[in-house]
Amino acid sequence: MREPYSLQQMTGDLRAAADPTGLWPTLSDFRIGSSPSQFERRLADANGWPDAHAARVIAEYRRFLYLAAIADFEVTPSKPVDAAWHLHLEDDDHYRGVLCGQVLGKLLQHLPGSGEPLEEERFRAQYRETLRLYESIFGPAPSDIWPIPSIEDDRTEAESIRLWLGALCAALAGTFLALLAGPTFLFIGGIVAVSLAVLAMQRTEHGEQRRRNKDGSGCGGDASVGHDSSGGDGDCASCGGGCGGGD
């Protein structure tokens, strides 16, 4: 079981972190991909970014790798960082052989999510926790690469819960009253209940879509070290990582 890291003041790129293995100095200079210059160019082209921005994202990807290695929970990247992760996964020999085999000493698994609302909420919670760890080590994260979850997101989630609970209560009340009133009102009550449920679903989906449409506001989800169930092919609704568990 991994020992939890302890905080201590340090100079340089790390603001506060114990690094007994000397991992960060290695990762901070680690060249991503078999051809680093080509990796940066491909990342910029794939996402429509200027070269300078792609270079910054790669630097943040290195920081994410460090967080994944030291965290005692499953870490979650932002969408820009996850884009770098996806691209790195395509270079399987370098990702597995060099990064995981030689630098981390463990396989950092990439586990894409399904996009289900409950799973997405878990990923958002992990993303917030990842940001807190980031700030305790590196200081404030750049908001254009690591967006801070907005109050609006939390309100949207609370609104969705209220809508579902309201629809459920209305459906139960309508069904009870309809049973007392007779078959005709039972039919009407059923229509009302279904209508409320559809409205709640539409409002929930609207909130989710609004959140996803925010530039760079998405986040990822799960991963662990050990048994390989990762993949770099295609997109995923959510993805993330961590070095927790495994051997």
Tens digit of pLDDT at every position of the chain (247 positions): 344 333 333 334 565 455 656 799 999 999 999 999 999 999 999 999 999 999 999 999 999 999 999 898 899 999 999 999 999 999 999 999 999 999 999 899 887 776 677 778 888 899 999 999 999 999 999 999 999 886 545 445 555 556 656 666 666 666 666 666 666 655 666 666 666 666 666 655 555 555 444 433 455 444 444 333 333 333 333 455 544 323 3
Q: Can you list the alpha helix ranges (DSSP code H) found in 139-226?
A: 151-181, 183-212
Degrees to nearest 5, angle at CA 216 with 160 and 85? 115
Render the burial of 36-63: b for 16+ CB within 10 Å, e for the rest.
Answer: eeebbebbbeeeebeeebbebbbebbbb
Compute the C-alpha angle 200/239/71, nearest 5°: 115
Amino acid identity of 55?
A
Total-model pTM: 0.65
Q: How far is CA 170 from CA 136, 155, 183, 194, 196, in A?
A: 46, 22, 18, 10, 8
**To which residue do tokens 């690591």 refer?**
146
Per domain, the residue ranges of the chain are: 1-148+219-242, 151-212
Q: How far apart are CA 122 and CA 45, in angstroms?
A: 31
- The pLDDT of residue 182 is 61
What is the DSSP secondary-structure string of 177-192? HHHHH-HHHHHHHHHH
First-to-last alpha carbon distance for the chain, in angstroms, is 9
Cβ-based neighbours of 113, under 8 Å, separated by 6 or more: 119, 120, 123, 220, 221, 222, 236, 237, 238, 239, 240
Asked whether the beta carbons of 220 and 242 are under 8 A apart, the reply is no
Residue 41's DSSP bridge partners are: none
How confident is the model at residue 82, as a pLDDT?
A: 94
